[in-house]
Structure 1
Amino acid sequence: MTGNPEAPKAAHGGHAHGANHDHGQVVTTSNERRIRFVLIFTAGYAIVQAVGGYLSGSLALIADAGHMVSDAAALLLALIAYRIARRAADSQRTYGFHRVRVLAALANGATLLLLVAWIAWEAVQRINAPVEILAGPMLIVALIGLAVNVAGAWILWSGNRGDSNLRGAFLHVIGDLLGSVGAIAAAIGIMLTGWTVLDPILSVLVAGLVVRSAWGLVSDSIRVLLQAVPRGVDKIEAERGLASLPGVAEAGHFHAWTVTDETSVATVHVSPAEGTDPLSLPPLVSAWLKERYAIDHVTVQVDPPGKLNTKHD
């Protein structure tokens, strides 16, 4: 809906919206099924890896086992989030429950960062006090883990990459995959040189590779929850661009935020130029914001000429 054809004054004092009022987001059964499969693989292998790490004395395996236990919990949280997000919007939650997925993504990233800190701490202890490591069993378990994690990463990568919940699960699996690669490298290095210190050193390197992805997931989730402008949107530039549209005399009080991974919302005030029909501005403004910034839902308030600059954001 782009205006109220029944009463022109509504365009001055009320709001007019973009064409699409459907706030619902698709929670695909395909994404949910992918995470369920990976959860089963992850939980099952975590047990194998924990036993193998304990028997071989490998920190790389023990750390990765702990990582996978954390991942299993995060994947379970992601599944719960999908179930909740599927619930329909109601009068109290008009945008539905889809931000639960953002909360789950935030939890995934935060737990990953905590686990990285634990791995780094344990690695320092092992460097200061090396322990005996059975490289043969360590290598076998790590190779199995690599195969499991490659399969899990492929399953998640082939899903919807715009879903932060699925992306969080994918990053966890990538962290596991890197852990398996590190454990394989450490096992081979120990077999060839006898340097058991390679195990904690490679654990630290793997942890460092995970930090960047985990922090990106956390920061993106925080941006959504704080209702920061979507990436690529500039408030000042948007107001200037709107003010340059034909029929628009002034534009201001622009606000934009992200509701879920795939939906952005904006509100803006505009004033009509002399001789311009106020009801023509909402669809014009909505279309421009959709094309320029891919904003899905726009609320446009048309103010009388000369009144816009007296308002405050």
Structure 2
Amino acid sequence: MTDLTSRLSTPHDHVFLGDSHERNERRTWLVIAITATMMVAEIVAGNIFGSMALVADGWHMSTHAAAMLIAAMAYLFARRNVRNPRFTFGTGKLGDLAGFASAVVLALIALLIGWESLIRLYNPVAISFPQAISVAVLGLAVNLLCAWLLRGDHHHHHHGHDHHDHDQHGGDNNLRAAYLHVLADALTSVLAIAALVMGSLYGLNWMDPAMGIVGGLVIARWSVGLIRDTGRVLMDYLPEGEDLPDEIRAAIETGSDRITDLHVWQLGPGHHGAIVSIRSDAPQSLQAYRDRLAHIHDLSHLTIEVEAG
């Protein structure tokens, strides 16, 4: 009985960052700069001109700037420690950890929006419609620009195989978290504009807090989805529809070769690891087994164990 172990390449590294890591990092910092500039301008202008709407929107933008700072710092730390041997499987999953934290912040923002809207619903305040609409339109324009900058492969992720398309598996959840924060801000602006226009034209002031509640519920739903997806990656859970284990079995289990133990997990955006234990009456070379799996492009870290008998 023989027991052999092999890894995918020699020498072996653990660089499991996404293909667009540096691009996404640059764009996240740019969005933070735009958001922070807009935030300061609104707060300063609001204080100069006595506009509470401007001041409030400025501080609201600060919460999203802080959340996006989590994403930017995660990109920076992951890149700087990409070859740090103390990270056993690299820093590819740091983006998922940051995405999880951002999702929690997003959930808290949704809760605050909903609570403030309920208070406004039962205790209405006077609204300066022209000024409020102007602020909402300006905020929407900035958010749409930031959303355009943060567009990317969080929408679509191809597994690297001609016959598979996985929209949600293996994407950059750190970028997705930053994108959702911008999208949440844009949604609140759109709903606010609609409510303010209706209030200005028809006197339906109650629509402003009502739209706030709707926006809070939508944002909460986004945050729950992000918490679920990032949590799965952090817990090494393979979502339904992830067919890497089936592909590995199909490639290895020919003739007398049988897989007795198989572990597959995500290491980072577009990167997966696998430990494959094989039992065979006629064991082949480790290189032969590696060659069988070479077509699986997302398989970045591979350990193979072969047992005769």
Question: If the TM-score is normalised by the length of the shorter chain, which range does it land in?
Answer: 0.7 to 0.9
> Which residue of 2 is the match for residue 23 of structure 1?
14
> Which residue of 2 is the match for residue 89 of structure 1?
83
> Which residue of 2 is the match for residue 251 of structure 1?
259
Secondary structure class of the residue paired with 1:86: helix
Aligned residue type for 1:287: A
Q: Distance in 1 between matches of 2:216 and 2:111?
A: 8
Secondary structure class of the residue paired with 2:127: coil
Q: Distance in 2 between matches of 1:39 and 1:29?
A: 15
Shift of 1:103: 1.7
Q: Is 1:143 the equivalent of 2:137? A: yes
Q: Distance in 2 between matches of 1:18 and 1:285?
A: 12
Per-residue deviation, residues 232-269 of structure 1 (Å, max 9, x unmatched):
33698567535642441x21221111111221101121
Secondary structure class of the residue paired with 2:293: helix
Shift of 1:173: 0.5
> Which residue of 2 is the match for residue 227 of structure 1?
236
TM-score by length of 2: 0.81
Larger radius of gyration: 1
Q: Distance in 2 between matches of 1:92 and 1:36?
A: 27
Secondary structure class of the residue paired with 2:125: coil
Q: Distance in 2 between matches of 1:140 and 1:90?
A: 49
**Per the alignment, do residues 129 and 34 of structure 1 end up closer, same or farther by CA in structure 2, a change over 3 Å counting?**
same
Shift of 1:206: 1.6
Shift of 1:195: 1.9
Q: Distance in 2 between matches of 1:119 and 1:125?
A: 10
> Which residue of 1 is the match for residue 307 of structure 2?
303
Residues 23-62 of structure 1 aligned to structure 2 (within 5 Å): 23-24=14-15, 25=17, 28-47=21-40, 62=56
Which consecutive residues of structure 1, in runs of 5 or more, have no partner in the other structure? Answer: 1-8, 306-313
Q: Distance in 2 between matches of 1:67 and 1:301?
A: 54
Per-residue deviation, residues 52-88 of structure 1 (Å, max 9, x unmatched):
6996676x994x6555222111222222212211124
Q: Distance in 2 between matches of 1:32 and 1:171?
A: 16
Shift of 1:17: 2.3
Secondary structure class of the residue paired with 1:133: coil
Q: Distance in 1 between matches of 2:106 and 2:23?
A: 25
> Which residue of 1 is the match for residue 269 of structure 2?
261
Contact 1:239/1:251, CA 8 A, preserved across alignment: no
Count matched residues: 288
Q: Distance in 1 between matches of 2:174 and 2:300?
A: 21
Aligned residue type for 1:42: T
**Per the alignment, do residues 57 and 79 of structure 1 end up closer, same or farther by CA in structure 2, a change over 3 Å counting?**
closer
Q: Distance in 1 between matches of 2:200 and 2:277?
A: 69
Secondary structure class of the residue paired with 2:294: helix
Contact 2:252/2:289, CA 8 A, preserved across alignment: no
Secondary structure class of the residue paired with 2:231: helix
Which consecutive residues of structure 2, in runs of 5 or more, have no partner in the other structure? Answer: 156-170
Q: Distance in 2 between matches of 1:237 and 1:33?
A: 37
Aligned residue type for 2:204: W
Per-residue deviation, residues 117-164 of structure 1 (Å, max 9, x unmatched):
111111111111211111110001111111111111111115776422
Secondary structure class of the residue paired with 1:296: strand
* Of 40-49 and 230-239, the range deviating more from structure 2: 230-239
Q: Is 1:197 the equivalent of 2:202? A: no
Contact 1:34/1:156, CA 8 A, preserved across alignment: yes
> Which residue of 1 is the match for residue 164 of structure 2?
none
Contact 2:279/2:308, CA 8 A, preserved across alignment: yes
Q: Distance in 1 between matches of 2:226 and 2:55?
A: 25
Q: Distance in 2 between matches of 1:192 and 1:124?
A: 23
Aligned residue type for 1:23: H
> Which residue of 2 is the match for residue 277 of structure 1?
284
TM-score by length of 1: 0.80
* Of 24-33 and 149-158, the range deviating more from structure 2: 24-33
**Per the alignment, do residues 65 and 303 of structure 1 end up closer, same or farther by CA in structure 2, a change over 3 Å counting?**
farther
Per-residue deviation, residues 173-200 of structure 1 (Å, max 9, x unmatched):
1111111111111211111112221111
Secondary structure class of the residue paired with 2:276: strand
* Of 85-94 and 171-180, the range deviating more from structure 2: 85-94
